[in-house]
Structures are given as structure tokens and as C-alpha cells.
Chains A and B, each alone.
Chain A
Amino acid sequence: MGFTSELLEKHASLWHRATHHPFLEETAALTIPQPVFAQWLIQDYLFGVDYTRFLALLSARAPGEFMESLGRSVGVMLDELELFRKMAERAGVDLAGAKPLPTCRAYTDYLLRLAYRESFPVCFTALWTLERAYHEAWSWVKENLKGESPWQEFIDNWTTPEFAAFVAWLGESLDRIAAGEDPEELAQMEENFVLTCHYEERFWQMSYGGEGWD
């Protein structure tokens, strides 16, 4: 069994929470309150800006074989940010001057810390974890969608065949990377898989309120 399958099996319940949050259920059921989704939209946009930096740093550090795909993913992320701006405008949400909530801030700081301090395999683990989580979460929404969603473009964005292929490539690459690592490094990778899952779960929850800097 590959490293990624092992992680998903060993931490199945955590993985489920990260990819099947009520936020997603309500989005699929078309019952999600507009302010909750709008808050998520703002926070995920802010997340995306720093996440793009994470990708750029990773591509700068990547071994040759990964550099090209990672470099290209920076461009894909920038298109995605454009989608967020478009959706925000349509929903009457103001992105200018938006401030990250504590969970968003913690998540992006965590990723940038990885990019500046941790090994490439550890960074790559976090990358795979969060991309795979997004693909799975939004694929579930798509399959269970109860009608026309005002957020259809988001649902489509993370369920395209191109995105599925990218996530699959990340998983295969991570399995290959992991096959050459020692137990100590693998433990670090696992630890950061777990952390990333926790951040994913909290990120969905964040939009329901109760977070602020006061």
C-alpha cells in the first residue's frame, strides 16, 4: 500500500471530518446561509493569496522533476483568485480591506512556515493533503447537490478532470517521495498530514462565526 493510502486509512475519521463538514452538506442542500458562505468566500480568498506564495516557494525549492508542475500550479491559483473576485462582486461581497480570521491566519502562517523551514517531502505532504481534501469535499457536494446553486462555479472549479488529474499526480508523486524516506521523515510527514486535516476541518467551521480578534 502506498503512503497516501496508508494515511487515509489510518486517519479515516479525521479525514472524513475534513472533507464532509456541515458547511459542505448545507452547500449541497442549498440551505447554507448567505453570510456564512460569504464569510468563507472572503477567508478562502485571503487563504488563496498566501497559499499561492506557498506554492511559489515550493516550486523555487522543488527538485527538477516537480518544478515545472508546481510552477504551473501558481498560475492556476492566480486564475482561481480571479474567480473569487468575480464571485465576490456578484454576491456583493467586498474583498478590499478584508482581514483574515484567526483560523485562516493560522493556516496560512502554518503553510508559509513549512515552506521556509521544513523539508520538501513535508511541504509536499501538506500540499497533497489540502488539494486532495478540496477535490473530495467539492466532489461530494457536486454529487449530492439538490438543485441550482448560486455557488456553482466554485463547485465546478474543484471538480474538473484537470484538477482531478493534478490531485492524482500529487498523490502518485508523494507515494514515490515517501518510498525513499526514512521512518523519522515519514513520521514528520504524517504529523503534518494530521495538522493539515485539522486546519481543513476548522476552516469550514470558522465561517459559522465565533471567531475574531477582540
Chain B
Amino acid sequence: MGLTDQLIAAHRELWRRAAHHPFVEALAAGTLEEEKFRHYLIQDYLFLIDYCRVLALGSAKADTVERQGFFAKLTEVTLNTEMELHRSYCERNGISRQELEKASPAPTTLGYTRFMLATANQGDLLDIAVCLTPCFVGYAEIGTRLAGLEGRPTSGPYHEWIEMYSDPEWVGLCGEFRQLTDRLAEEAGVTDPSLPRHQRLSAIFAEAVRWEWMFWQMGWTLEGWPEEIA
């Protein structure tokens, strides 16, 4: 079993809760209130800006030119394909790109991105890969699952969202990402769960999955800063 599957298995309940958050289920059923979706999508755009920084750090810290290239490709796909979904949705809904980029990050968005940036700055390529796994692999899993559901939305923004995260090319990239993570773990010799390094990676993974759950929750509850301190 590769490291990715080991980590998912070790935190199965947490993983399931994040993947089946009420926000996701409501999106799949088409019953999600659009206000919540909009809040989530704007926050996700802010999240992705810093996510690209983490990918760039992966490129900077990669040990081979091929891996440098892979992380650069992920940065490119995120900037130009994934974030384009957000931009075009916002454009259609009267939110300009400037407004989008100037939006204020919610507490959870800040917490998640600071966690990733700190991990990526302090750690090596394997730490970076593990802290990105819940987002990357998680979204591919959710996208693929939702695309196979009966009664999923067949038009509109939720449909587009599902289409993007179940797109075979994108899901294929996630597969490559998974393989790279597993390979890095083998090279580092950390697949034995009793090793301290394995446990540290497991802790990074668990924290990232918690943030994934928190991120859905942020959309679901329209989380922002309390008015007194906003």
C-alpha cells in the first residue's frame, strides 16, 4: 500500500466526514443555497492563490528537473484552468476580478493557507505533497463520486463544478500526484507507520483533512470574521 492509501486508511473516519460534508451532499443534490456556494467559491479562489504559492515551493524544492516540471504544470493548471471556473462564475454573477482578488479571507481560509505555507516553507517535497493530498486527492474523489450520482445537477454552476473536478485529465493529474507522493515516501523510506517521520507526515495529513472539513463548513455557515473585530 502506498503512503497516500496508508494515510487515508489511518484517518478513515475524518476523511469520510470531509468528503461527505453536508455542503458537498447539498451541492450534489442541487439543493445548496447559491449564497453559500458563492461564499465558498470566492473563498476558494483566495485559497487557490496561496495554493499556487505552495505548488511553486514544491517546484523550487524538487530534487529532479522532471519533478520541478510536474509542480510547475500543476501551478499552471491551477492558475489557468481551475481558477478560470471561479473567474467566469464570478463574472457571470457581477463580481469583477478585482473584487474577487480583494475579497477578505475568512478565518478558515486564512488558517488553512497559513498552515500550508508554513508546512511548505519548513518542510521538504514530501511534506509539501502530503499537505496538498487532502485537497488534491480529496477533490478528485469527490468530483468522481458526484459525477456518478443519479439526480445530480445537469446544468448550472453546480454541474460545472462537478464537471471540472471529475474531468478525466484533471483526475489523471491527481493520479500522477498520488504516485509521486507514494514514490517520494518510498525513496525516503518512511512507509513504516512506526517511524517518527511517518507519524509527522500523518499529523500533517490529518490537519489538512480537518481544514478541508472546516472549509466546507465555512461555506455552509457563511463564516466570516465576527462583526466586532472584522
Contacts and interface: CB of A to CB of B under 8 A. Distances in A.
Interface string A66-82: 01100110110010010
A66 to B, nearest CB: 12
A67 B49 contact: yes
Contacts of B204: none
Contacts of A68: 79
A71 B56 CA distance: 7
A75 B74 CA distance: 10
B53 interface: yes
A28 interface: no
* A: contact size bracket: 10 to 19
Interface in B52-97: 52-54, 56-57, 59-61, 65, 68-69, 71-73, 75-76, 79
A115 B54 CA distance: 15
A74 B101 contact: no
Interface stretch (A11-19, A50-58, A153-161, A193-201): A50-58
Contacts of B79: 68, 71-72
Given A64-B49, A64-B101, A67-B53, A56 B59 contact: yes
A207 interface: no
A75 B69 CA distance: 7
B-side interface size class: 20 to 34
Q: Which of B71, B72, B101 is most buried by chain A, counting CB atoms within 10 A of its CB?
A: B72
Contacts of B69: 78
A59 interface: yes
Nearest to B59: A56
B142 to A, nearest CB: 25
Contact of B68 (A59, A64, A78, A115): A78
A72 B76 contact: yes
A130 interface: no
Given A52-B59, A56-B56, A56-B60, A78 B49 contact: no
Contacts of A32: none
B89 to A, nearest CB: 18
Give me the 3 closest cross-chain CB pairs, A-B, nearest first: A56-B60, A56-B59, A60-B56
10 contacts: A53-B68, A54-B60, A56-B71, A60-B60, A60-B120, A64-B49, A71-B72, A72-B76, A78-B72, A81-B65
